[in-house]
């Protein structure tokens, strides 16, 4: 693969919203957004600079996530002092998990991941070969201080989510960031939704991540299918690069 193609690929996988400030500003028009992603959410200040401290001394090869923190801070502010039950599909090196652990200090988190990467990672070993064998070890090390609040489940999401459902587990917050295949995203959403309590928040990543040529290989088709299938059962509380729903 040429260096140029490799750069294009890693840019694509960086998944950063093309214009962060605009969606944040429009979504939080009713919040006090100031320069440097500092904002006041329900009377509490959230600052990206402060949040950066959560990641000091940790090992990461990628950051696909922290640009979403201002949005999450607003959506999840009401859980800050509550023992929220959180489930995430797709943990990678643990960046989103570290957000939940730090922003929601009384929460418990279930992390589901095969730690084998997604189809697009495995399809491009040139880009990810050195990182893929490391992601689980990085996750374990990065999250070690929070081990007592984390339940790590190393499995395919379809299996793990079904098992949690059979066990009668319930969650207040679900974050869907695993496989990008639309059928998997739809399936992860359906299974997580069945365990989400009314009033709970479900967030889908990568709604606008449309880098693979086939629509079925990108999350959007899966998220749109979910939105149609469950119409009337949710309120959209955010729509941009990510989609967040409140369960009615």
Ligand X SMILES: C[S@@+](CC[C@H](N)C(=O)[O-])C[C@H]1O[C@@H](n2cnc3c(N)ncnc32)[C@H](O)[C@@H]1O
Q: Which of 28, 33, 51, 65 binds ligand X (CB under 6 A)?
A: 65
Residue number with CB closer to ligand X (40 or 190)? 190
Q: Which residues contact 15 (CB under 8 A, 6 or more apart)?
A: 64, 205, 206, 209, 241
Q: Which residues contact 79 (CB under 8 A, 6 or more apart)?
A: 104, 107, 172, 173
Residue 157 is a binding residue for ligand X (CB under 6 A):
yes
Q: Which of 178, 200, 219, 222 binds ligand X (CB under 6 A)?
A: 178
Q: Are 54 and 98 in contact (CB under 8 A)?
A: yes
Residue 242 is a binding residue for ligand X (CB under 6 A):
no
The CB-of-232 to ligand X minimum distance in angstroms stands at 28
Residue number with CB closer to ligand X (116 or 246)? 116
User: Judged by CB under 6 A, which stretch of 36-44, 113-121, 165-173, 228-236 contacts ligand X?
Assistant: 113-121
Q: Which residues contact 177 (CB under 8 A, 6 or more apart)?
A: 88, 89, 90, 96, 204, 205, 206
Residue 114 is a binding residue for ligand X (CB under 6 A):
yes
Residue 96 is a binding residue for ligand X (CB under 6 A):
yes
The CB-of-187 to ligand X minimum distance in angstroms stands at 9
- Cα-based torsion angle of the residue sequence 88, 23, 106, 153 in order, rounded to the nearest 10 degrees: 10
Residue 117 is a binding residue for ligand X (CB under 6 A):
yes
Site for ligand X (CB under 6 A): how many residues? Answer: 22
Residue 142 is a binding residue for ligand X (CB under 6 A):
no
Residue 113 is a binding residue for ligand X (CB under 6 A):
yes
**Order of strands, sheet of 171-176, starting from the edge strand that comes earlier in the sequence:** 150-154, 108-113, 85-89, 171-176, 196-204, 243-247, 234-239
In the 8-state DSSP scheme, what is residue 208? T
Binding site for ligand X (CB under 6 A): 64-65, 90-93, 95-96, 112-118, 135, 156-157, 177-179, 184
């Amino acid at each position: 693969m040429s260096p140029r193609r490799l750069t294009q690929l890693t840019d694509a996988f960086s998944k950063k919203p093309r214009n962060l400030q605009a969606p944040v500003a429009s979504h939080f028009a009713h919040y006090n957004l100031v320069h440097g992603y500092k904002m006041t959410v329900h009377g509490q200040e959230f600052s990206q600079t402060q949040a950066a401290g959560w990641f000091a001394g940790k090992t990461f090869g990628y950051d696909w996530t922290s640009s979403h923190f201002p949005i999450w801070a607003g959506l999840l502010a009401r859980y800050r002092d509550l023992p929220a039950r959180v489930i995430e599909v797709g943990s990678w090196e643990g960046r989103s998990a570290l957000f939940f652990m730090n922003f929601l200090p009384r929460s418990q988190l279930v992390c589901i991941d095969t730690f084998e990467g997604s189809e697009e990672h495995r399809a491009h070993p040139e880009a990810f070969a050195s990182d893929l064998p490391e992601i689980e070890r990085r996750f374990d090390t990065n999250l070690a201080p929070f081990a007592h609040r984390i339940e790590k489940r190393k499995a395919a999401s379809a299996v793990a989510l079904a098992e949690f459902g059979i066990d009668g587990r319930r969650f207040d917050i679900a974050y869907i960031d695993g496989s990008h295949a639309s059928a998997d995203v739809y399936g992860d959403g359906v299974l997580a939704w069945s365990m989400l309590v009314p009033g709970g928040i479900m967030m889908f990543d990568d709604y606008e991540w449309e880098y693979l040529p086939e629509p079925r290989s990108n999350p959007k088709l899966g998220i749109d299918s979910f939105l149609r299938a469950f119409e009337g059962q949710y309120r959209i509380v955010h729509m941009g690069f990510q989609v967040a729903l409140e369960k009615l």
